[in-house]
Amino acid sequence: MYDCIIVGAGPAGGTAAYHLAKQGRSVLVLEKESLPRYKPCGGGVSPAIAQWFDFDFSPAISVKADSLRFTWKLGDPVEAKIATIEPVWMVRRDIFDHFLVQQGQKEGAELRDNTEVTGIEFKSDYWQVNTANGPVTGRYLIAADGVKGPMAKWLGFKDRKRRLAGALEAEVLADVKDKSTIHFEFGLVKNGYIWNFPKADGYSIGVGTFIGGQPQDFKKILDEYARSFDVDIKTSKQYGYPLCLWDGNQQLHTQNAVLAGEAACVVDPMTAEGIRPSIFSGLMAAGAINEALSGDINALEKYSEAINQEWGTEMAWAQKLGGAFYRFPGIGYKVGVKRPSGAQIMGKILCGELRYGDVAGRALKRLIPGFGG
């Protein structure tokens, strides 16, 4: 009988495993893929996550980027150095996620990868988790199996508040001349943006839309954008995937179980940043389950409250800002991105040194005449 079974070895699951194992709890991580496994993702990580760990992430970082370059329909560029303590980390998710789980294993967590969960059953005061390789039991469960995972449904979370967004990404092997610059393109895609994140050996180029609208030909848009970098994405692998954006506060706990990561719908609705919020939820989930194991009967309820308060409040601003920006992107580019401080502010938000709440009110006033009375 494990103290906690974690389903999913992404950033949320890996973080929870590390922190629970560090507290001396017995932890089992179940992952359906074999690690390391590829995961489509831009791979931009806020260096602010370092504060939640006591080890060095350097082995898991591909490059560090300290500059941003924005374009509008491939022109009208805005370039800026990010004046932050630490640059944005660029990672490859196969390496990063596995590294995080390995830190948990060093603390005593057990990993069973290549093990798909086929169902769950609550037995009076513990969970039985059925897998393709037989059942396992645990007193508590963390469902961190991502946007498409079945755990939330099995746990009874029928109607989570979430907005599903779509993304397409191409991993392009290339000789990257400038590894320190992150590129963002607005205007070519409606209701979203294109990102181009440098890695040591190529680019992660992706397109996403975040507030719905008419279907768009992502492949065509991505191809046109890539050509501006003299890159042919037709020869590279392309991956379409859903994103689970935050869409309001909700309950994230049930009987002896919590949701974390994208299963908890924590992705930033403005930037689609998912790694930092997933790690934050994993950290908070580990704390809550550690308290529950110590006898606090309200610990899981406090987890829901903490995520809603500490992350949800921030995401409510991100949602307002994203809604205004993506509906009026031309104005947004002019009054937001092209402002002398605009790129700096974006850099600080990406690095976790600034909160949306600190800037959103002023930004919305510029975007929406009459906002705020």
Tell me the per-residue pLDDT of 125-143, one tens digit each, with 9 for 90 and over. 999 999 999 999 999 999 9
Let me know if residue 299 belongs to a domain.
Answer: yes
Domain tally for the chain? 1
- In sequence order, which residues have a C-beta less than 8 Å from that of residue 206 and are 6 or more positions away? 40, 42, 167, 168, 169, 170, 194, 195, 222
Q: How deeply is 43 buried, as exposed, middle or buried, from its count of CB atoms within 10 A (0-12, 13-18, 19+)? A: buried
Q: Give pLDDT tens digits along the chain (373 positions).
A: 999 999 999 999 999 999 999 999 999 999 999 999 999 888 999 999 999 999 999 999 999 999 999 999 999 999 999 888 899 999 999 999 999 999 999 999 999 999 999 999 999 999 999 999 999 999 999 999 999 999 999 999 987 878 888 899 999 888 888 999 999 999 999 999 999 999 998 999 999 998 877 789 999 999 999 999 888 888 888 999 988 899 999 999 999 999 999 999 999 999 999 999 999 999 999 999 999 999 999 999 999 999 999 999 999 999 988 988 998 899 889 988 998 788 888 888 888 888 888 887 777 666 665 444 3
Let me know if residue 42 belongs to a domain.
Answer: yes
Let me know if residue 75 belongs to a domain.
Answer: no
Q: What is the DSSP string of 323-359?
A: HHHHHSHHHHIIIIITSTTHHHHHHHHHTTSS-HHHH
| CATH value at residue 11 | 3.50.50.60
Let me know if residue 78 belongs to a domain.
Answer: no
Cα–Cα distances in Å, from 37 out to 95, 169, 239, 263? Answer: 8, 16, 14, 19
Cα–Cα distances in Å, from 16 out to 113, 214, 241, 285, 304? Answer: 16, 38, 24, 6, 15
Residues 209, 78, 324: CA angle, nearest 5 degrees: 40
Let me know if residue 189 belongs to a domain.
Answer: no
| Full domain range(s) for residue 301 | 2-63+87-161+244-327
Let me know if residue 292 belongs to a domain.
Answer: yes
Q: What is the structure's pLDDT at 214?
A: 77
Let me know if residue 144 belongs to a domain.
Answer: yes
Let me know if residue 38 belongs to a domain.
Answer: yes
